[in-house]
Amino acid sequence: MKSEKRKTGDIAEDLVIKYARGRGWKILARNFQKPWGEIDIIAAEVSRLRRKKTILFIEVKAQTCPVSVDFRTEFHFTADKQQKLIRTAHSYLLQNKYSENTDYRFDLAAVELNQLQKVGHLRYYRNAIDAR
């Protein structure tokens, strides 16, 4: 049986996947795990102008409202979590035989859900960490 925290996370990830697909991004993986970390969503964005694919490693942070004004969902994206995300992303790229020239970025989706588990607010941050 899933914990309430896991259920909230799943709902938030579903909302972020809907957001990503609405932008034309292709979902490559969900909950990619290694012993040292997990990536919530991995997607691909294809630039029509450059005809180049960028791999998106998306961290989803979710919280059930009411939310304190002093503590936003984004604050849960700690430096330790960022380092684990970077390490796990590099493992994904190697495991899937992407070249070292592959474009990729780390994004953050902060989702706040109301008590009925319907989205209250989604904030999306491109390039949330610079790992290059």
Gap between the Cα atoms of 2 and 28, Å rounded: 24
Q: Is the pTM of this model over 0.85?
A: yes
- The pLDDT tens digits of the residues spanning 59-95 come to 999 888 765 555 577 777 888 899 999 999 999 999 9
Please give the domain boundaries of the chain with CATH numbers for all domains: 4-129 (3.40.1350.10)
Contacts of 63 (CB under 8 A, 6+ apart): 8, 73, 76, 111, 112, 113
Residue pLDDT tens, the chain, 132 long: 677 778 888 889 999 999 999 999 999 999 999 999 999 999 999 887 777 899 999 999 988 876 555 557 777 788 889 999 999 999 999 999 999 899 999 999 999 887 666 666 889 999 998 766
β-bridge pairing 37-47 and 52-64:
antiparallel
Whether the CB-CB separation of 52 and 103 falls below 8 Å is answered with yes
Contacts of 25 (CB under 8 A, 6+ apart): 43, 44, 45, 56
